[in-house]
Structure 1
């Protein structure tokens, strides 16, 4: 456990700037990437707490708390929090995922001290007024209802439930009406103080900045708050074992009178530390990662059966998903599913071509590098590297890892992954048992 701040340089990346990391005595970590050519800075506070850290009755607590932390502190009202940042043309926002929560601001470089003070105040010292709890409860219940009116979003949650069942990874991040309605301020406050501790927090910033100045400003902003604690070591990143147990292949249908049917066909994938994740990225690009992908070409371009069709991979500390989504007319679902299954079987059995491999690798490298063109994505990269992996992989090394993916790597992964029993999630005008047997 550090009794004083410990700083080291992680990289001097030719494709970016100098990355430095400081561990404060409390265990809180500060990472920055100095990019002098930029005139903006993105500043984020990342907490290693998400919806999977909730018990069943707590479902939605992390997301509820995210809403509340912008509602006022001992120093600022909700209006002051937003007005101070907006007065300098900046922007703030936050989001909750299944494994972490992020609060961030983007401002001109000269306004970084203000952003640090406001954001640290909001995250460290929110008062959670009872009246604000009730106001945000109403907002969240409206958000849940709105989500139910978006079948294209709902089907993804339905698929997660089909694979994970009652495991927290299968639950809604927002919680449900049944869990959010009775949740008390005391429960949220307890979740806040137990979970938001310095060892669980990573602060990241990228843009035109000085690392030592950022560390100094963070320490000043947190002095005297509940995050100004006794010495501790940083919490290790979330363990990858034991692996999450998934359900046997299941079919879940949400009957809904929609003009378009939304379907997801997929299976358990690999976790985010699996060495095959680079091969999976390439395989995903080949199958459904763009307009030149197999599924897009077959289902949309050649046959015109769906406006949107793509594949995706979600990866967690100890599990993952691989899936294909399509939105189509209800009467075309059978044909879309048949073509999707046939394509997955074909790739599992016959593999992909050398040309497809080259294209898939090029897409992976290009999308990654192009994604680093703004300070927000660079800030996120710092935080995720530290929070999810305990390390920051240099850009050149990541590109090298993608380049090293071979045809044998992709084909071996395809043979294993795409041969797994597939779960199906459907939202549309169907009976609940409409897909109980192969149609």
Structure 2
């Protein structure tokens, strides 16, 4: 089912054959992102992602997008702190043509001056929209105060940095990181293995002395209590994020933390939703999230509430935390978290794109293929005492709080 090959041109290829499917997903991942930028070039990776869809040496923007979209396919990309991922989901008959399109986007973009300027304008609008959203603001305020400078910058960058990025800077960064040796390709679904390998082998290695084969980086997280409260005009609600240092992706407690995070904030049957919204009526929206890197992790609570309920919400969250530390809640919620997590992963396996993204996440962090089946088995091994110990350790760490409130002056 899984086939892993390093090609002569340096491409790192994982093939997941699923002949019962009528579709396939193709994913090209370049191991670079916003953490590799400087303050002055913040947003560079995201800008490259945008401009690469404009034109290649042999295709204009219509010739890039239309062959995939006219058959009902999806073509898109995203940038993170460590990765830039270009992907497509297509009918099986379009796999080889999609490989051609994606490889040209990655390795042969034109970076025309007018295209760069157009995409700068689009990204400036995107930043404005992002900065209008209180959820984004409250998270960014937290990151600025707890992460090191390479991870605290927003992935989209700043308006000033975007405006000042030159074509030469784009080309230098692209030449440095956008190499086959720094790329992981994953194909999941129905395809002809010999045919796709032959096509991928035709991609030329353009390695130069300045190119890099990147490792996945991790943020440094401050070791002190953080409390930030900001205000914003035209808000009706208060927005709260509370975080704690948590096990890294490679930590033995990673799987126990996944179970903990799932029963805390996944679904309307979760602990936070049940206790804070259903029982107390303190928040319309409340959830949790678990951000992980190879050497760092962060468990986060998020909620939105009214001014009159904010103090009670903070107290209730603290009560939940104390109960978890003292093992007053975990036994009741353990099975929900474990069963829901396994069920969600089982359902995701039915989607080629979700499967490819899961495989990518595990592979770039662990440096080896971990199948979804193996991943589920690791979750099945988690026992309640693992989660009890993990919760006690996490909630004994420093507390990081970010609040965004209405400006009532």
TM-score by length of 2: 0.94
- Equivalent in 212, 216, 228 of residue 238 of structure 1: 216
SS of the residue 1:56 aligns to: coil
Q: Deviation per CA, 1:251-277: give whole Å up to 9, x if none.
A: 223311311221101122222111111
- Equivalent in 419, 424, 429 of residue 401 of structure 2: 424
Give the equivalent residue in structure 1 for 2:87: 104
1:19-168 aligned within 5 A? 19-164=2-147, 166-168=148-150
- Equivalent in 153, 169, 173 of residue 187 of structure 1: 169
2 CA distance for matches of 1:173 and 1:312?
18
SS of the residue 1:72 aligns to: coil
Give the equivalent residue in structure 2 for 1:249: 225
Change (3 A) 1:73 1:396: closer
Deviation at 1:140, TM superposition (A): 0.6
Give the equivalent residue in structure 1 for 2:158: 176
Conserved 8 A contact 1:23-1:29: yes
Give the equivalent residue in structure 2 for 1:366: 343
2 CA distance for matches of 1:352 and 1:234?
48
Give the equivalent residue in structure 1 for 2:321: 344
1:281 and 2:258 correspond: yes
1 CA distance for matches of 2:142 and 2:238?
14
SS of the residue 2:105 aligns to: helix
Runs of 5+ consecutive residues of structure 2 not aligned to the other structure: none
2 CA distance for matches of 1:178 and 1:428?
26
TM-score by length of 1: 0.88
Change (3 A) 1:95 1:236: closer
2 CA distance for matches of 1:122 and 1:59?
22
SS of the residue 1:350 aligns to: coil
Runs of 5+ consecutive residues of structure 1 not aligned to the other structure: 1-17, 433-439
- Equivalent in 303, 320, 324 of residue 301 of structure 2: 324
Q: Deviation per CA, 1:113-170: give whole Å up to 9, x if none.
A: 1111111111110010011111111111110000011112222222222321x42111
SS of the residue 1:306 aligns to: coil
Which one is further off, 355-364 or 272-281? 355-364
Change (3 A) 1:71 1:109: same
What value does the CA root-mean-square deviation take over the aligned residues? 2.1
SS of the residue 1:58 aligns to: coil
- Equivalent in 351, 370, 382 of residue 405 of structure 1: 382
Q: Deviation per CA, 1:192-213: give whole Å up to 9, x if none.
A: 1111122210011111112222
Which one is further off, 355-364 or 380-389? 380-389
Change (3 A) 1:395 1:106: closer
Deviation at 1:355, TM superposition (A): 3.9
Conserved 8 A contact 1:351-1:415: no
1:380 and 2:357 correspond: yes
Give the equivalent residue in structure 1 for 2:191: 209
2 CA distance for matches of 1:331 and 1:246?
31
2 CA distance for matches of 1:260 and 1:245?
28
Q: Deviation per CA, 1:60-108: give whole Å up to 9, x if none.
A: 1111111011010110111221122223332200000111110011111
